Amino acid sequence: MPQALRTKFLASAMLLAACGAAVAGSAVTSTKPITVTVETDIYHYAQTLLGNDDIMTFHAFDRAYCQRDVVEFILVQRALKLGGAELNFRFATGNYDARNVRLVVDGFLLLSFDTVFLSQASPLADAVYISSPMIRSSEFEAGIFVSAENLKKLQVRRAEELQQLSFVSSRDWPQDWQLLTELKPKQLVHEGDWISMAKMVSRGWVDAMLVPFTKTPPYMYQGNGYSIYALPNVKVAMHDSRHFIVSKKHPLGAEVFAALQRGLAIMRQRGDIETAYQQCGFINTAVRDWTLLNPQAPAASTATPIPATANEPATQP
């Protein structure tokens, strides 16, 4: 066996052995249903993608309906199991984008199944545990998505040309909102629901929105009442990492966070995380050479964290 391969094999074996020993002495089990909030469309996409497959052995992230949120919905559950957590989740579906972080901070939710940017999580470190990164800084790239009509007539090559376009995003996504503000579009419109954003772009009410790439060209999203397409040869990067957060106020918080970290370490070592994001197209090597319109990372993020307050438990679907 070549020395490099031998070294890699031994490192993997040592990591698995260490994690296995930790799991044996630190397993956490709860048969009581634990509520997790999930966006309605993401939950249904995940169920369609998984079908009857086992979440622990599923690897077909190149199937239809896969996107970043779906990858994370699957991998967070796998990481918890690998780390020794046997939990009974109850999924509450709805539009929780604006509330999820507040609910975790206040202990109404154990953890979020959707990652958040480190710039958003760091100010909340007194209330939440922050996992190792799922998406490392600048791995998160997005396209400029427009309507079919604008795809034919718009030609963007430089960041300054975005100043002639109107964009839609959400103030509940601080990093996206900040990036777009720095790009100085003609108009920046707030909308809280992603599908409504896509419909606004598709119908020409606003020119564009930022969306991660799909896995193969033509890079497009299509649904009931909308079709949006990526402008060719240009992209933007989020110069920030994304992480899961676990509540420090929840009774199971510390144990579940430890299990999550163990599982994520195993999956990172095996290559599961990067492979899943690549298969679904979120980390898209095909656009590696496209022009990056914001190549310089900001010196310090000024993204505003979601206020750490909540008035209701997430118990309603």
For 268-304, write each residue's pLDDT tens digit. Answer: 999 999 999 999 989 999 999 999 999 865 554 444 4
**Could you tell me the residue range of the domain that residue 177 belongs to?**
140-238
* pLDDT of 228 higher than 60: yes
How, if at all, do strands 234-238 and 166-169 pair?
Answer: unpaired
Q: Is the peptide bond before 218 cis (omega within 30 degrees of 0)?
A: yes
Determine contact, residues 166/147, Cβ cutoff 8 Å.
no
Q: How far apart are CA 102 and CA 43, in angstroms?
A: 20
Residue 92 lies in a domain: yes
* pLDDT of 229 higher than 50: yes
pLDDT at 266: 97
pLDDT at 64: 83
Question: Is 131 found in the same domain as 145?
Answer: no
Residue 302 lies in a domain: no
Question: Is 247 found in the same domain as 120?
Answer: yes
- Compute CA 85 distance to the chain's CA centroid, rounded to the nearest angstrom: 22
Q: Which of 24, 158, 203, 170 is nearest to 98 (CA)?
A: 170
Question: Is 150 found in the same domain as 107?
Answer: no
Q: How far apart are CA 194 and CA 96, in angstroms?
A: 12
Residue 317 lies in a domain: no
pLDDT at 305: 44
Domain containing residue 109: CATH number: 3.40.190.10
Among the candidates 238, 267, 296, a domain finishes at 238
Helix pair angle (68-82, 40-50), 10° resolution: 70
Question: Is 129 found in the same domain as 12?
Answer: yes
* pLDDT of 317 higher than 70: no
Question: Is 248 found in the same domain as 131?
Answer: yes
Q: How far apart are CA 96 and CA 70, in angstroms?
A: 15
pLDDT at 173: 87
**Residue 13: band (very low, low, confident or very high) from pLDDT cuts 50, 70, 90:** very low
Question: Is 169 found in the same domain as 36?
Answer: no
pLDDT at 96: 80
8-32 average pLDDT score = 53
pTM attached to this predicted model: 0.79
Amino acid at 216: T
**The total number of structural domains that make up the chain:** 2
Cα pseudo-dihedral 284, 83, 137, 68, rounded to 10: 40
pLDDT at 296: 67
Residue 202 lies in a domain: yes
Residue 226 lies in a domain: yes
* pLDDT of 312 higher than 80: no
Question: Is 148 found in the same domain as 46?
Answer: no
Residue 207 lies in a domain: yes
**Residue 26: band (very low, low, confident or very high) from pLDDT cuts 50, 70, 90:** low
Residue 315 lies in a domain: no
Residue 15 lies in a domain: yes
Running DSSP on this structure, what letter comes out for residue 223? E
Question: Is 230 found in the same domain as 84?
Answer: no
> What is the overall mean pLDDT for the chain?
86
Question: Is 125 found in the same domain as 36?
Answer: yes
Question: Is 221 found in the same domain as 182?
Answer: yes
Question: Is 166 found in the same domain as 35?
Answer: no
Higher-pLDDT residue of 310, 202:
202
Question: Is 221 found in the same domain as 153?
Answer: yes
pLDDT at 7: 42
**Residue 29: band (very low, low, confident or very high) from pLDDT cuts 50, 70, 90:** confident
pLDDT in tens, 113-166: 999 999 999 999 999 999 999 999 989 999 999 999 999 999 999 999 999 999
Amino acid at 111: L
